[in-house]
Structure 1
């Protein structure tokens, strides 16, 4: 039995072939990634500022609804709840102004900027695609459909969930703020009708507080879906809100 040993030159040649094959595979993979510019800079800035505002609103709102224990010492030396309320009011104004800016950009931005405010409910294809995404999220299908902007289910959730809930929180929040700013303030003039409509001030407080938990649930589902799509859907979601580009991997 004869044993053949590879010479150093042959071994180096085999290694070079392996590296070349690996390089070719990487090139093939790179060419299969398709990138589309979706979200413009103002949209991405609004998204992250909105995320920060909602985080501050949720934390401060929780403590406003369930205040901290009484602090020792003179009241003048303890303004912690005052700072919490100020953070809540400031974040509320940021949320409201940001939404107005987002509405403006829906008119001047690209067509993806308008997806946040309407859904094509009269198009049969839309409901077919929405059902497909429901199956995908329920682990009943192997691959999701490919959508450059929001997928149909995300679009439905954003319009009827996030935007609707955000408007409700802004309206009820300014109605409650109008009580503190008193009669004649612009907050009271624009939103004072909300309190008698809903019954009384405490009713508005209760619904506003419940809206907080609605937003928390929405954010949890939103983050889960975004990370899930990045991993399983083979299309970028999280990084798209940083770069603006949606990438698809074959």
Structure 2
């Protein structure tokens, strides 16, 4: 890799192999996340926030409303916002799955963590030690580190599929037999036992994703500060910038 002093030239992802091992000294900036991935990330975050807020009120409706019942449609608006955000969330997930095939290899990390490699699991343990303040120096990764890959796969990939399937099963129940949602997802309710069971599972899924979001935001800010590499701004610009020249 050629480097020009005193300012190293930006490095593109193709200069590294598919395994995304740690970044060496002198690397300053790497283009990681393409624009469609970044756009999906922020739209998905907005959809999740809307779904969580409206879903909470759907599960725990307001106890009373002032005025005549015929003059209030607040819960109707809340349900509409929930359903609209659900469509955005589901369509966005399908698009993100498509981009995993047509985008760069960083776009595939969300769906295909290399769990069959022993070295990958060793790096997961290293990252756990780093987050527990047992490692003195962080390893630097161009894309997601192995622990983040595993967390993203479980909570975003599998979690999204679970929430889409259970959510549209409940939506199909309300839209009656014959609707597209009921035809595609009507099997979920009998499989779970009854409608209330699916409601409970869907509600629990929301809390699992919200807990992940809280941890995700904390870790992103922590890494920005402690590992001396950009995390938050990378999802805006697409570039990961390494703020020092220390090797791994």
Which deviates more from structure 2 when the two are superposed, residues 74-83 or residues 173-182? 74-83
Alignment partner of 2:33 out of 39, 43, 48: 39
Alignment partner of 1:110 out of 104, 109, 113: 104
Which residue of structure 1 aligns with residue 214 of structure 2? 220
User: SS of the residue aligned with 1:246?
Assistant: strand
Which deviates more from structure 2 when the two are superposed, residues 126-135 or residues 237-246? 126-135
- Say yes or no: does 1:195 pair with 2:189: yes
Counterpart-to-counterpart distance in 1, 2:27 and 2:118: 30
Which residue of structure 2 aligns with residue 174 of structure 1? 168
Which residue of structure 1 aligns with residue 142 of structure 2? 148
1:205 Cα offset (Å):
0.5
Alignment partner of 1:242 out of 211, 236, 247: 236
CA 1:107 to 1:137, structure 2 compared with 1: closer, same or farther past 3 Å? Answer: same
- Say yes or no: does 1:59 pair with 2:53: yes
User: SS of the residue aligned with 1:36?
Assistant: strand
Counterpart-to-counterpart distance in 1, 2:38 and 2:211: 22
Which residue of structure 1 aligns with residue 44 of structure 2? 50
Q: Greater share of helix residues, 1 or 2?
A: 1
Unaligned runs of 5+ in 1: 1-26
Which residue of structure 1 aligns with residue 11 of structure 2? none
Counterpart-to-counterpart distance in 2, 1:142 and 1:62: 41
Counterpart-to-counterpart distance in 1, 2:70 and 2:33: 48
Counterpart-to-counterpart distance in 1, 2:85 and 2:47: 5
Which deviates more from structure 2 when the two are superposed, residues 119-128 or residues 98-107? 119-128
Counterpart-to-counterpart distance in 1, 2:45 and 2:159: 14
Counterpart-to-counterpart distance in 1, 2:77 and 2:155: 30
- Say yes or no: does 1:85 pair with 2:79: yes
User: SS of the residue aligned with 1:207?
Assistant: helix
Q: Which 4+ residue blocks in structure 1 deviate beyond 3 angstroms?
A: 30-33
- Rg larger for: 1
Give a deviation string over 1:41-91, Cα, whole Å, max 9, x none.
000000000000000000001111110122132222100010001000000
1:33 Cα offset (Å):
6.3
- Give the CA RMSD over aligned residues: 1.3
User: SS of the residue aligned with 1:249?
Assistant: coil
TM-score normalised to structure 2 length: 0.87
Alignment partner of 1:206 out of 184, 187, 200: 200
Give a deviation string over 1:98-130, Cα, whole Å, max 9, x none.
000000100100000000001111112111111
TM-score normalised to structure 1 length: 0.87
How many residues align structurally? 223
Counterpart-to-counterpart distance in 1, 2:43 and 2:218: 19
